[in-house]
Structure 1
Amino acid sequence: MIEAAYLHIPFCHHICHYCDFNKVFFKNQPVMPYLEKMRDEMKQTVERYPANDLKTIFVGGGTPTALDEKQLTYFLESIHESFPVHDVKEFTFEANPNELTEEKLRILHAYGVDRLSIGVQTFNEQLLEKIGRVHSNQQAFQAVDEARKIGFRNISLDLMYSLPGQTISDFKETIDIAFSLDVEHISAYSLIIEPKTVFYNLMNKGKLRVPSQEDEAFMYEMLMDEMDKHGYSQYEISNFARSGYESLHNLTYWDNNDYYGIGAGAHSYIDGIRRSNIAPLKKYMQAVTETNHAYLDEISVSKVERMEEEMFLGLRKTNGVNKASFYEKYKVEMNEVFSEPIKEYTNKGLLEQTESSLRLTKKGRFLGNEVFQAFIGGI
């Protein structure tokens, strides 16, 4: 049962210093030909795997709002042709504040987009410049305000912490401003220095100073405390929501359920097979034309691997991995399969068991990656 679809728009008007996603500069790119091939791939995919059970659609990038109004309309019409948009429970569009014009917002709303994920990252304008973002605070405020006027009732903000030069007070100010915007959902991610990024090159040259591990841990603890005080429940390591506004799409990933991946470099998981699409645009477009798909590789995931993934994905959620659901999927008890890591990390105070689930403790959320690794390759 395929409940989610991810659609990838790789175009950006500006490349951020920390970003390692599959993306290209917008200028001189074959935008409409790419969208046409995405339209073809959507049709080809649902012919093979019908979208009868689809519950969520998520458009990410790159920067989907880099598309102009004509391109945006064409793309949204393509989605409607292949997917039952009016039946889905959540249709998310990633956006940059400076690109969310009133006209684009009206188009998105008219075509059924009901959730915006706005990449703010920080409300410190000096830090925005330092990390390569080109929007202003005023544009972020205006984007949220305009979206509300047009009818969006589910808005998420993306924030980052442990940024170069960021202090604890800087991050506290950003959180406070985010609260003042009264949005339904907030994601907050610690900066990870990835290869092939501006920050990676600066770090290798000794020109990048980031907060200490102690300050990063303090920022995360402050984040959790402040979210709780302001009525946002933490439902995943980096995600906080008001009741009923958790990201249904991302929960599909963390529940290790099936999903489509459409577009250059997109990933899918269907019937126990993980596929990754060709990333370079021209090769992607050629593959869709010549082979009726864009798969670069296909990996059949064994039962053991699926169980491992169930653990390290599910433990990201604050309610953890449900024991009954695990048994229903794999016909074996979680505590039998993973008795050793469960015992070890429970004794360390990083895991705890309830009657229905296994989950990270608050201390465990700080050291999640260490815990996740313990469930890989140990069976």
Structure 2
Amino acid sequence: MIKAAYLHIPFCEHICHYCDFNKVFLKNQPVDEYLQQMDVEMKKTVERFPTENLDTIFVGGGTPTSLSASQLEVFLTSIHEHLPFQKDTVEFTFEANPGDLTNDKLKVLKDFHVNRLSFGVQSFNDELLKRIGRSHRAKDVFQSITNAREVGFENISIDLIYSLPDQTVEDFEETLKTALALEMEHYSAYSLIIEPKTVFYNLMNKGKLPLPSQEEEARMYEVLLEEMAKHNYHQYEISNFAKVGLESRHNITYWANEQYYGIGAGAHSYVQGVRRANVGPLTHYMKSIDETGFPYKEEHNVTVQEQMEEEMFLGLRKTEGVSKGHFKEKFGKALDDVFSKEIQEHIEKGLLQWNGDQLSLTKKGKFLGNEVFQSFIGVN
């Protein structure tokens, strides 16, 4: 059963130096035409892969809030027309850029039953924000949150990035202090990853990107864990923290390796055992929709072995880990038998642990998560 939908709005008013997501500058783009094609894709997708009520809808980008209020209304009308969900029970998230969310846009979102906002804050240091290519400043975050609360949003998340160029542990501590003082319902904090085809990647190759050391990065993560625990935020995944009961259902769907729709240019989906990737360039996306109703550039039938591997490297991101009983029920095989060698090696290294039925990362394992995850890929 498909319980989640991701919808991609690729437009941005500014391109951040670290971003490798599918995105384009907003100016002079065929935004209205793109939204019309997304409407077609939604309709065709649900007709081809019908499901009952979705549990979670997530609109990401790009910058979804770069759309005008009237464009948001058109887009949200399409979602309500084509996607099956109950407005009173769905988790309906919009990613937002601080400073983009005017009161008229907030009202449109609220009127169309969006009930969760995720602000891409990254840092509260204005100089650092400038350096990483963000267009907002700290004051914009405070104002945007105030405006959202006034309109009635009660579930707000903040994204942070650490290990940024020239960032110190002390600077990250200050950003955390400011973020936690806002008492959000949810926080995500990710270590910077340098991706190809980004400004930072080019600077790094020229030796012009002064990044913190591995030791400093590890200390930032340690501070993150300490401060979140001190403020009673539940860590339910390596990089995600929430007040109890307000964990992101969309995130959990992904890490639980469940099915989800992916709508829009560059979006990915996982439906009926097939992973599909949509074409990224807008003109190609819209042409594909015109010709076939579907914009797929890749379709991969996931083998049972691949599904089991994904169950491990996605599921182990969750604090609760992977359930032995659920694994057996899902695949008809014992977790210990399929991955006995890998599990035992990581237990001996102090990276994995059994807690009753659950296999999970230890505290040490959280710092070396990628090493653990990679060991479950390509296992024969």
> Fold match, TM over 0.5?
yes
The TM tier, using the shorter chain, reads over 0.9
Deviation at 1:54, TM superposition (A): 1.1
Q: Distance in 1 between matches of 2:168 and 2:35?
A: 41
Deviation at 1:355, TM superposition (A): 1.0
Confirm or deny: 8 A CA contact 1:267 1:277 kept in the other structure: yes
Confirm or deny: 8 A CA contact 1:227 1:240 kept in the other structure: yes
Deviation at 1:56, TM superposition (A): 0.3
1:317-338 deviations in Å (ceiling 9; x for gaps):
0100111111111011101110
1:163-215 deviations in Å (ceiling 9; x for gaps):
00111110000001011111000000000111100111111111110100000
Whichever residue aligns with residue 35 of structure 2, its letter is L
Equivalent residue for 2:182? 181
Equivalent residue for 1:210? 211
1:213-263 deviations in Å (ceiling 9; x for gaps):
000000001100100000111110100001001000010010000000000
Whichever residue aligns with residue 20 of structure 1, its letter is D
Q: Unpaired runs of 5+ in structure 2? A: none
Partner SS state of residue 307, structure 2: helix
Whichever residue aligns with residue 197 of structure 2, its letter is K
Q: Distance in 1 between matches of 2:248 and 2:336?
A: 28
Confirm or deny: 8 A CA contact 1:255 1:314 kept in the other structure: yes
Q: Distance in 2 between matches of 1:144 and 1:121?
A: 15
Whichever residue aligns with residue 10 of structure 1, its letter is P
Equivalent residue for 1:30? 30
Equivalent residue for 2:148? 147
Equivalent residue for 1:72? 72
Q: Distance in 1 between matches of 2:86 and 2:132?
A: 38
Q: Distance in 2 between matches of 1:95 and 1:244?
A: 22
Within 5 Å, give how 1:230-245 maps onto structure 2: 230-245=231-246
Equivalent residue for 1:14? 14
Equivalent residue for 1:313? 314
Q: Distance in 2 between matches of 1:86 and 1:75?
A: 18
1:257-284 deviations in Å (ceiling 9; x for gaps):
0000000010000111000001110110
TM-score, normalization: structure 2? 0.99
Confirm or deny: 8 A CA contact 2:233 2:241 kept in the other structure: yes
Whichever residue aligns with residue 13 of structure 2, its letter is H
Q: Distance in 2 between matches of 1:2 and 1:197?
A: 33
1:277-312 deviations in Å (ceiling 9; x for gaps):
011101100101111111101100000000000000
Asked if residue 111 in structure 1 is aligned to residue 112 in structure 2, the reply is yes
Confirm or deny: 8 A CA contact 1:275 1:299 kept in the other structure: yes
Confirm or deny: 8 A CA contact 2:53 2:84 kept in the other structure: no
Equivalent residue for 2:276? 275
Q: Distance in 1 between matches of 2:21 and 2:339?
A: 33
Within 5 Å, give how 1:86-105 maps onto structure 2: 86-87=86-87, 88-105=89-106
Equivalent residue for 2:84? 84
Partner SS state of residue 86, structure 1: coil
Q: Distance in 1 between matches of 2:108 and 2:11?
A: 19
Equivalent residue for 2:51? 51
Deviation at 1:356, TM superposition (A): 1.5
Partner SS state of residue 209, structure 1: coil
Confirm or deny: 8 A CA contact 2:53 2:86 kept in the other structure: no
1:53-90 deviations in Å (ceiling 9; x for gaps):
41100000000000011111100001000113434520
1:144-167 deviations in Å (ceiling 9; x for gaps):
111111111100000000000111
Q: Distance in 2 between matches of 1:53 and 1:83?
A: 8
Partner SS state of residue 365, structure 1: helix
- Identical counterparts, % of pairs: 62
Asked if residue 199 in structure 1 is aligned to residue 200 in structure 2, the reply is yes
Confirm or deny: 8 A CA contact 1:57 1:249 kept in the other structure: yes
Confirm or deny: 8 A CA contact 1:125 1:136 kept in the other structure: yes
Q: Distance in 2 between matches of 1:84 and 1:43?
A: 11
Within 5 Å, give how 1:239-278 maps onto structure 2: 239-278=240-279
TM-score, normalization: structure 1? 0.99
Equivalent residue for 1:371? 372
Partner SS state of residue 310, structure 1: helix
Q: Distance in 2 between matches of 1:323 and 1:144?
A: 41
Whichever residue aligns with residue 157 of structure 1, its letter is I
Confirm or deny: 8 A CA contact 2:110 2:151 kept in the other structure: yes
Equivalent residue for 2:358? 357
Deviation at 1:51, TM superposition (A): 3.2
Q: Distance in 2 between matches of 1:98 and 1:146?
A: 10
Partner SS state of residue 316, structure 1: coil
1:344-379 deviations in Å (ceiling 9; x for gaps):
000000000111110000100110010011111123
Q: Distance in 2 between matches of 1:60 and 1:106?
A: 19
Partner SS state of residue 240, structure 1: strand
Moved more, 177-186 or 80-89: 80-89
Q: Unpaired runs of 5+ in structure 1? A: none
Equivalent residue for 1:42? 42
